[in-house]
Chain A
Amino acid sequence: MSNTFLFPVVSPLGPEIFLAAVACCLVIFDSLFKEQRNIFPVISITGATVTTLMVASSKGLGFSGMYNVDGFSVFFKIICLLALIFTVLMSHNHLKVLGVKREGEYYSLMLFACIGMMVMASALDLIVLYLGLELMALSVYCLVGIQKKDKRASEAAIKYFLLGAFASCLFLFGLSYIYGATGTTSLPVVTSFLTGEGIKSNPAFLLGLGLVLIAFSFKVAAAPFHMWTPDAYEGAMTPVTGFMSVAPKAAGFAALSRLLFEAFPALHGNWVLPFEIMIFLTMAIGNITAISQVSIKRMLAYSSIAHAGYALLGLLPGTAQGVSATMNYLFIYLFMNMGAFAVIVLLQQKGLAGERLEDYKGLAKSHPVAAGLMLVFMFSLTGIPPTAGFIGKFNLFVAALNAGYTGMVIWAVIFSAISAYFYLRVVMLMYMHEPQKEVAIVRSGALSAVLVMTLAGVLIIGIYPNDLLHLAGMIFGK
């Protein structure tokens, strides 16, 4: 036994540690600054921005190979941090409108969730991956339920918590099989075991992998494990819904791609068929159920299920081109979905107002700018050029086509055509109906900033798409 203890390499975790310190400060300041409630979003945004800059320059392996900061994880971490910044900007005014106290806890939970996602993106050890997942999930459960007086929020939080706990159990169960079959939790060692000893024929290992994949399907809300999504998305506060629909999903995809392509590349033939069925179901259920929704938040929840299906399409071929298309798509999805939720936040009052689709009738007459923004985001979610959504879908479909998954691409195109109905219905309601009642708008500088940034993201990526794809390809292809 070697009793010499080497201090682990901590520097790749610098951004996470910094963010954790900021999150702790927020909790302490909550009781120190009873009057100056405006400092919380300022501290959160400053902390998140500094962390983003630190992430961009961090690199290397930490903690004896358990933590890998490479271009791939940096890309996903930046998606999560941008989602965090957008959400904090949207939240400040919205918390006041809804009369939610506890700003310190609210923002610090959001920061902790983001740390969990960053850990998930970088984890090279299954235990670290699991703990990152739990850190993220626990924080988000609390964020969903933070409006205590709201019955829908409590119901959403309980449902999300129970199903999330169930998914965690499946994940751990799967891990125990993988651990039993390989004797290790370190992903690189698991990989070498797979290629070295031909454990492919060991069905226990496949069982473990299957359970882990199911757990991640829960997290990215892929059918048939999507049942929690509409209720949780509808009950949570709108900024939190926006956050949930982008950031945990990106983290889930990061961990999923790392598992499938770095750890288990040899098993591609084993998971491709269940994956195809899952993608088909996800796109079908998401797009078809969205048609019958009357609440715009529920509609966007089903749309986010459908988008998870498109993003999974990029993972299907198991090629670098496919993964970079998925990364690219998630980055674009960040802008368009956050933008759409920011418009909802703009219109939302206490209670149900601003959440029903009929509130959007005639919006173009009463608030032309808000309607115009919603138009762009809806076009982008449908995938109409020149918005970014078109580029994202186009790349995904090309990647799947190149790998020979023509049937899946045809289905994806059919389902996108169906999705045009419910996205464009919002546009139709806004532009072709007379306003029914006065819809008030809650203006704030921070919210305008989110709208400007997301709009810029959607349009710039839509018009100059090559740079982003090139970047994503460079990161994964190296």
Chain B
Amino acid sequence: MVYLLFFYFSIVVIGLAYKVISAKNPVHGVLTMLALFFHMAGFYLLLNAEFLAAVQVIVYCGAILVLYLFVLFLVDIKSEVKTGPFIKNGAKLAILSSILLLLTFLRGVKNFSLGPHGHFTIERVQEITHTKAIGQEVFTTYILPFEIAGLILLVAVIGGLALAKREAEGKEG
């Protein structure tokens, strides 16, 4: 049952991801991405990570995609900008290198042996609930990465302000 669900989610995610990048209309692309993010949340549920699944839906589907849509509506992209390829026969080279890359990955994954588990086995997580487990880890063991992530968000705010704030035109001499 779990494997069936996993295969369903995997195939749908790959298909939707292809649709996102191949969609001609950017709004269709964003809406396909919405479906993509919902299916990603399915993976988290399969991994006993219900908190992350909820966060995925709330943050990605709820907040980030709506932002994307706003940007799309504001920027009003009528048509794609088409430029000539930088490298001649780029498409052939790209296909060739993608196949090589795929073979490399397959070779890497073929003999994959899983590493040892940490403290949190599936039973432990089910017992104390995922939300509590992730909270404890983030605020004790991983407090330093958590704080650095806070700084990154601050930089994003400052950078966004510096780049987007309108300058007072009249004052410039």
Interface hit among B17-25, B46-54, B66-74, B141-149: B141-149
CB pair B148 A138 closer than 8 Å: no
CB pair A180 B115 closer than 8 Å: yes
- How many pairs, one residue from A and one from B, have CB atoms within 8 Å of each other in the complex? 108
CB pair B158 A8 closer than 8 Å: no
CB pair B142 A109 closer than 8 Å: no
Task: Give complex CA distance A184, B119 in Å.
Answer: 11
Interface hit among A86-94, A99-107, A332-340, A356-364: A99-107
Task: Give complex CA distance A137, B167 in Å.
Answer: 25
Task: Give complex CA distance A134, B150 in Å.
Answer: 12
CB pair B152 A135 closer than 8 Å: yes
Q: Tell me whether A138 and B115 are in contact in the complex, defined as CB-CB below 8 angstroms, given that A127-B145, A203-B110 are known contacts.
A: no
CB-contact partner of B115 in A115, A132, A146, A183, under 8 A: A183
> Nearest-CB distance from A95 to chain B (Å)?
12
CB pair A139 B163 closer than 8 Å: no
CB pair B158 A108 closer than 8 Å: yes
Q: Tell me whether A109 and B148 are in contact in the complex, defined as CB-CB below 8 angstroms, given that A99-B172, A182-B115 are known contacts.
A: no
Task: Give complex CA distance A127, B146 in Å.
Answer: 10
Residues on the A chain within 8 Å of B78, using CB? none
A206: CB under 8 A from chain B? Answer: yes
Task: Give complex CA distance A284, B162 in Å.
Answer: 38
Task: Give complex CA distance A101, B165 in Å.
Answer: 11
Interface 0/1 of B17-60, CB less than 8 Å to A: 00000000000000000000000000000000000000000000
CB pair B152 A138 closer than 8 Å: yes
Q: Tell me whether A139 and B105 are in contact in the complex, defined as CB-CB below 8 angstroms, given that A63-B144, A109-B162, A128-B144 are known contacts.
A: no
CB-contact partner of A180 in B112, B144, B148, B149, under 8 A: B112
Interface 0/1 of A60-93, CB less than 8 Å to B: 0011101100000000000000000000000000
Task: Give complex CA distance A203, B107 in Å.
Answer: 7
Residues on the B chain within 8 Å of A184, using CB? 115, 118
B90: CB under 8 A from chain A? Answer: no
B1: CB under 8 A from chain A? Answer: no
Give chain A's interface residues, CB within 8 Å of chain B: 1, 5, 8, 13, 20, 24, 27, 62-64, 66-67, 99, 101-102, 105-106, 108-109, 112, 115, 119, 125, 127-128, 131-132, 134-135, 138-139, 141-142, 145-146, 148, 177, 179-184, 193, 199, 201-204, 206-207
Given pairs A27-B158, A112-B154, A135-B155, 4 additional interface contacts (CB within 8 A): A109-B159, A142-B162, A148-B163, A184-B115
25 residue pairs A–B, Cβ–Cβ below 8 Å: A8-B144, A63-B143, A64-B141, A101-B167, A105-B159, A105-B161, A105-B162, A128-B144, A138-B156, A139-B155, A145-B163, A148-B167, A180-B112, A180-B114, A181-B114, A182-B116, A183-B117, A193-B115, A202-B111, A203-B112, A204-B108, A204-B109, A207-B104, A207-B105, A207-B109
